[in-house]
Amino acid sequence: EQICTSLAVLNEGQLLVTGPVETFLSEQNASLTELRAEPLETAHRVLKDLDQVSEIAIYEHHLRFRVDHENRPEVAAALTKAKVKIYSLTPVSRLEDYFLSLFGYRELP
């Protein structure tokens, strides 16, 4: 991520995406979001009820989900209304996260 300028992702011999790294990171920044909040279970329930939010993955200490950049304030407002303490609501823009977003997030056992 720090030294590459172009990206190509293959899946079972098929080319999925190719192009400049900046393009994929800026796309990712627009939708993949990480939330650190308490109580996490309440935050998860609130996010599931929002039409703007999709692909929610719950981890031990945070949530990751997709939401358009312009809808993040609405997400924060809904969480605050539900008395969720928000410690961070951060767009994710790492190359590894972009790769994982192509195949879906899942917890490892």
> What are the pLDDT digits (tens) for 15-29?
988 888 877 766 554
Q: What is the mean pLDDT of residues 97-108?
A: 63
Provide the pLDDT for residue 41.
94
Q: What is the pLDDT of residue 9?
A: 85
What is the residue type of 86?
A: I
pTM over 0.85: no
The chain-wide mean pLDDT, for the chain, equals: 84
Q: Is the pLDDT of residue 83 over 90?
A: yes
* Per-residue model confidence (pLDDT) at position 55: 86
- Angle between the 72-81 and 40-48 helix axes, to the nearest 10 degrees? 120
